[in-house]
Amino acid sequence: MSLAPGQPVIILKEGTTRTQGRSAQRNNIAAAKIIAEIVRTTLGPKGMDKLLVDNIGDVIVTNDGATILEKIDVEHPAAKMIIEVAKSQDHVVGDGTTTAVILAGELLRKAEELIEQKIHASTIISGYKKALDKALEVINENAIKIDLKDRATLRKVITTSLGSKSLGFALDKLVDIAVDSVLSVVKEVNGKQRADKDDIQIVKKIGRSLGETELIRGVVVDKEVVHAAMPKRVENARIALIDSPFEIEKTEFSAEIRIRDPLKIKEFLDEETNILKGMVDKVKAVGANVVFCQKGIDDAAQFFLAKEGILAVRRVKKSDMEKLAKATGGRVVTNFEDLSPKDLGRAGLVEERKIGEDRMVFVEKCENPKAVAVLLRAGLERQLDEAERALNDAIMNMIDLVDDPRIVPGGGAIEEEIARQLRQTAGKLSGKEQLAYLAFAEAVEAIPRTLAENAGLEPVEIMAQIRHAHENGQRAVGVNIFGGGVIDMLANGVIEPAKVKLHALRSSFEAASMILRIDDVVAASKKKEEKKKEGESETPEF
C-alpha cells in the first residue's frame, strides 16, 4: 500500500519533543555547564555556602557538593547525568564530588569549542581518553606512599579535606576522631587492610557544642533499659546478644483448652512464668550481667532479670546487634539452648545516660572494638547536619587511605602537573586528536584557577606563577589560598588521597564522553494532572 504524496507519517506520540544534531549537543552541554557552575564557588577552604530550600520549606546550608546536587530538583536529562557523577564519586570515595563535577563541566566546555571548529565528537572523546590515560599515569608517578602508623601525615590529609567546612575550633577534635575511628576498625582481608564505613556509627544529638563530640570505643544503642528496677550502670560487663524473644511464642492456630479442675488453672498459668524464669536462669548461669535482645522481653521476664541484677535492653536494631558483636567480641545467639559463656561479649562499661530528651545505652571501654561510635553534638540542628557531612567526608578519606595509602599534593598542584605533562606529550599525537588532548590539559587547570578565584586572588597571575614553578621542576607547588601567590603543598601539609583524584578524573571523563555521544534527544510528553474545580462536574470524553 503506497502513501499519498505529502501524507504525514506519525511515529511519535502527540506532545513528544525531539531535538537533533548540533542543537541537541548544545542543549546538553549547556545543562551540564550550569550544574558545574552551581557548585564551582564552593570549592576550596574559601568556597561559599549554598542555602537550599525544599518544597516544604526545610532549609539546608552547606558547601558539600554531593549534598547540593542531591537536594536540587533538576529536570534536564544531561544535568541528571552530571549529578550521577557526584553520586558515584561520593559513594565510591566519599570526597572530591565538587572537583569531579567541575572537571566534567570544563571538559564539555572545551569540547563545545572544538565542535564549533567542525571536529567530530568521536575524535574529541578519543583525544580525551588518551589524555585521561596520561593523567592517571602522572598521578601514579607523583603519588607518595605513606605508613598508616604515621599519625601526623594522616592528620594533614584529614585537615585538608575538612579545610572547606565551617567547624571552627572543633576542627582538630573532629580530625582526631576521624583518624582514631577508622584505625580502630581496620581489618585484614585477603592480605590487604580494609575498613568499612558501616562499622563506624554516627549518633547525632542536638545540645552542647561541637567541641564536645566524643569517640565511643564501643556502640551507642538508642534504647533505654526496659525495667526501672534494673541497674543503670554495669562495669566489667559480660554481654549476651540474643536474637530470640524473651516471651512465650503464640501458636499460629487457634486452640481451645478445657480445664475441669480449678486447681489446674493456677498450674497452667504458672507454667508460662516457669518457662520465662528458666530463660532468665540460663542467662544467669552462663555469667551474663547485660542482655541485648533483638526481639521483645515479656513483663515477667523483665521482673526476673531485674531481680537477678541484669541490665536488659529490648528490640535492638539488627544493625546495632551486628555492631555490638563486632565491638564486644560476642556472638549473636538465636536459641537460648545454644547460649554459652564463650558467646558472651565483654565491655568495660555499659551505662544508660540521658542525652538531651532521650535515654540511650552506652557500651564502651571495649578491649579491641571492631565497631565504634561517634556521639556528634552541636547547638543548632543545621550545624549538626553540616558537621555530620564533614565527618563523613573525613572518615571516607581515611578509608581511602587504608585502601590505597598514597597521597598527592593538594591546592591544584597535581592538576597543574597533569596539564604540564599533557602539553609536553601532545606533540606525539597527530591530527585533530591533538587538539582534544590539549583541551583536556586546559580543562584540568580549572581546579587551581577556581581555587584562586574563590580565594579572591587574581587567577591569571596565579596560573602564570604555578606554570612557571612546574616548568622548573617544582611539582608540588599549588595555590596559596590564605597568603596569596603559590607555595609547596607537601611542605605545608596540604595533601589529598591519590584515590580521590584518580576516581574524579575517571568519572568526569565518563560523564563528558557520554553526553558528547548524544546527538538526538526524544522527550515524551508530560502527564498533566487535571484538577477539578470545586463544584465542577467531570465531562466524559468519547
pLDDT of residue 258: 73
In which element (H, E) is residue 377 found? strand 372-378
How confident is the prediction along the chain (542 residues), in pLDDT tens digits per residue? Answer: 455 566 666 565 665 655 656 777 788 888 889 989 999 999 988 888 888 887 788 888 888 888 888 888 888 888 888 888 888 888 888 888 899 999 999 999 999 999 989 899 899 999 999 999 999 999 999 999 999 999 999 999 999 988 877 777 888 889 999 999 999 999 888 888 888 889 999 999 888 888 889 999 999 999 999 999 999 999 999 999 999 888 776 655 566 667 777 776 666 666 778 888 888 888 899 999 999 999 998 888 899 899 999 999 999 999 999 999 999 999 999 888 888 999 999 999 999 998 878 899 999 999 889 999 999 988 888 888 888 888 998 999 999 999 999 999 999 999 999 999 999 999 888 888 899 999 999 999 999 999 999 999 999 999 999 999 999 999 999 999 988 889 999 999 999 999 999 999 999 999 899 888 887 666 666 655 444 444 444 444 43
Q: Are strands 219-221 and 358-364 parallel, antiparallel or unpaired?
A: antiparallel
pLDDT of residue 542: 37
Spacing of C-alpha 419 from chain mean position = 30
What is the rounded CA–CA span in Å between residue 520 and residue 511?
Answer: 17
**Residue 233 has which C-alpha cell?**
550502670
What is the rounded CA–CA span in Å between residue 176 and residue 472?
Answer: 37
Apex 397 CA angle, 444 and 500, nearest 5: 25
Query: Can you state the percent helix, strand and coil of the chain, rounding each to 5?
Result: 50, 20, 35
What is the rounded CA–CA span in Å between residue 69 and residue 56?
Answer: 18
pLDDT of residue 246: 81
Burial level of 106, CB count in 10 A (0-12/13-18/19+)?
buried
**Residue 267 has which C-alpha cell?**
498450674
Coil vs helix vs strand at 427: helix
pLDDT of residue 541: 44
- Is residue 118 within 8 Å of residue 39, measured between CB atoms? no
Q: What count of other Cβ atoms lies within 10 Å of the Cβ of residue 355? A: 17
Torsion 4-5-6-8 (CA) sign: positive
Residues involved in catalysis: 64, 97-98, 393
Closest residue by Cα to residue 246 from 320, 304, 289: 304
- Is residue 22 within 8 Å of residue 526, measured between CB atoms? no
Burial level of 117, CB count in 10 A (0-12/13-18/19+)?
exposed
Query: Which three-class secondary structure string do you get for 172-224?
Result: HHHHHHHHHHHHHCCEEECCEEECCHHHEEEEEEEECCHHHCEEECCEEECCC
Ramachandran bin of 150, using left for φ above 0, alpha for ψ from -120 to 50, beta for the remaining angles? beta
pLDDT of residue 290: 94
Give per-residue burial for 374-392: e unless 16+ CB within 10 Å, then b.
Answer: bbbbbeeeebbbbbbbbbb
- Is residue 221 within 8 Å of residue 373, measured between CB atoms? no
Apex 474 CA angle, 470 and 479, nearest 5: 70
pLDDT of residue 238: 94
Looking at residue 37, its amino acid is: E
Apex 63 CA angle, 175 and 385, nearest 5: 65
Burial level of 532, CB count in 10 A (0-12/13-18/19+)?
exposed
**Residue 481 has which C-alpha cell?**
589560598
Q: pTM for this structure? A: 0.83
Ordered structural domains, the chain, with CATH: 16-145+408-524 (1.10.560.10), 218-368 (3.50.7.10)
